[in-house]
Amino acid sequence: FKDYQIQNARLNTNSLASASGEVTLLKSDLKQGKIEVQGWFPHLEGAAKILFSEDGGRTWRELAINQMFTASFVPMPNKLYEPLIKIKTEDSEEFQIKVFPNIRGILFKDIDYNQLVAETIGKIAEAYESANFSQFSQYISKDYLGNKTFLEEGIRTDFDLFSNIRLTLYINRIDKRGNIFAAETRWDKTQTPRSTGQEQRTSGNTTFMFVFEDGLMKIQNLRGNLIYATLQPEIAQASGLPQTVVNQIREANQERNPVQPGAGETEQAGGTSTQATIPVKNGSIHSQYATAGDCTSFRTDFDYDFSSGTEGSAGGGDFYLEWNILFNLGGAQIQQITSSTFEALNEAPTSGYTNSSAGTLAAGEVYAFITQEGYYGKFKVTSKNTVDCNRNTVNFSYAVQTDGTRNLKTQ
């Protein structure tokens, strides 16, 4: 009878087979306010009594002799519970079995995990904004999946390269996945690269994965865009970012270049760039009437394809010229830029585009555009030549980015 054992042990219907250390339960984890322990005995031959202890054997109570057992109790906060089973046999032998042999015990915390997670996210952000490394570090789990050392190195690098860090976080959802507390967030960040002194603006979406450890919610992993340790390639890898982005982060880290390839969006680069320059080309577009000077005669409106750098009249380009106004073809879009010169426009805007240039083109004007293929570009009107209704010609310098990014750096 000495091979008594417990199989399929459950804590509030959950298996603890992969757990270790202390298992913490919060109020929402209880079953009608109680901790319930269940298990199954493959056999009970010769068993005279089954006893259950919730406190490591200090107190015992008798259970019915059944192969499937259930025991429940109302927990006290901050008390460690160690469930044990004792089997007394008909010949007066006793066998003691740990219900969950792979853990140290069960701890109940009388707190709401939604509130605790939200408060912890706020405290972590405060530590990051104030560049308080020791305060930030206390919220990193010893079992951080991307290696705690790498995260700490990445945080120190952020503090070295940036000042005036400000974070705004929006919590979209918090849920519990086993022993993991997952918080899906959206965030906006402003900071100043020390090397440029210009404000940088980024945004992204990050899921915080917390575990309850040493009485605190601690980060076990960060998934999605890099909100912290933004130039640490190992953290980018653990966050699930594409390898191309990880490589960009590794290069920026090596060069101490305060760019943010791991962010979701870089709305304002803060005087930084990781992008190579793109070439400036020259082009022209015109419209023409069949009869010189007769504005009522048939008119041909030529169009321009920025991707190929060709003018045509078959409607295959991105924009066509009508009375010195550019109108879009297909999905192409355009907007005038008044806040920057052609040379200084290093990144295409994300919004503000329309279907036409809105007014007649004039020399010196700068425009950003999106081609029918979805490429970003920019052009500057260098000259305009209008000879009655017969000849309207607009000359321009332009650059188009064909790698799918918004990089428009030309010098």
Q: Mean pLDDT across the stretch 166-177?
A: 94
pLDDT at 275: 59
Can you give the pLDDT at residue 277?
Answer: 74
What number is the average pLDDT over the span 349-372? 91
* Percent of the chain whose predicted confidence (pLDDT) is above 70: 95
Q: What is the pLDDT of residue 216?
A: 82
Q: What is the pLDDT of residues 231-285, one digit of tens each?
A: 999 999 999 998 888 988 998 898 898 999 999 999 998 888 665 678 899 999 9
pLDDT in tens, 386-409: 766 656 889 999 999 987 788 898
pLDDT at 51: 97
Q: What is the pLDDT of residue 113?
A: 86
Do the domains spanning 7-109 and 113-268 agree at the CATH topology level? no
Q: What pLDDT, in 10s, does the model give residues 293-324?
A: 666 656 677 899 999 999 988 788 999 988 78
pLDDT at 156 over 90: yes
> Mean pLDDT over residues 206-223, rounded?
90
For 56-97, what is each residue's pLDDT tens digit?
999 999 999 999 999 999 999 989 999 999 999 999 999 999
Name the fold adopted by 7-109. Answer: Immunoglobulin-like (2.60.40)
**CB of 189 closer than 8 Å to CB of 264:** no
User: Does pLDDT of 331 surpass 80?
Assistant: yes
Q: Which fold has domain 113-268?
A: Nuclear Transport Factor 2; Chain: A, (3.10.450)
Phi/psi of residue 272, nearest 5 degrees: -110, 160
Q: Across residues 104-108, what is the average pLDDT?
A: 92
Give the percent of the chain with pLDDT over 90. 69
At which residue do the structure tokens 């010769």 appear?
46
Tell me which of 316 and 34 has the higher pLDDT: 34
Domain ranges of the chain: 7-109, 113-268, 281-401
Question: For residues 66 and 68, what is the distance between their CA atoms, to the nearest angstrom?
Answer: 5
- Residue holding tokens 């490429």? 375
pLDDT in the model for residue 274: 62
SS3 assignment for the chain: CCCCCCEEEEECCEECCCCCEEEEEEHHHCECCEEEEEEECCCCCCEEEEEEECECCCCCEEECCCCEEEEEECCCCCCEEECEEEEEECCCCEEEEECCCCEEEEEEECCCHHHHHHHHHHHHHHHHHCCCHHHHHCCECCCCCCCHHHHHHHHHHHHHHEEEEEEEEEEEEEEEECCEEEEEEEEEEEEEECCCCCCEEEEEEEEEEEEEECCEEEEEEEEECCCCCCCCHHHHHHCCCCHHHHHHHHHHHHHCCCCCCCCCEEEECCCCCCCCCCCCEEEEEEEEECCCCCCCCCEEECEEECCCCEEECCCCCCEEEECCEEEECCCCEEEEECCCCCCCCCECCCCCCECECCCCCCCCCEEEEECCCCCEEEEEEEEEEEECCCEEEEEEEEEEECCCCCECCCC
Nearest to 260 by CA among 220, 228, 222: 228
Mean per-residue pLDDT for 150-158? Answer: 96
pLDDT at 276: 63
pLDDT for the residue numbered 407:
86
- Model confidence, pTM: 0.51
353/370 Cα distance (integer angstroms): 8
pLDDT of residue 288: 72
Question: Rounded mean pLDDT of 129-148?
Answer: 92
pLDDT of residue 298: 65
pLDDT value of residue 388: 64
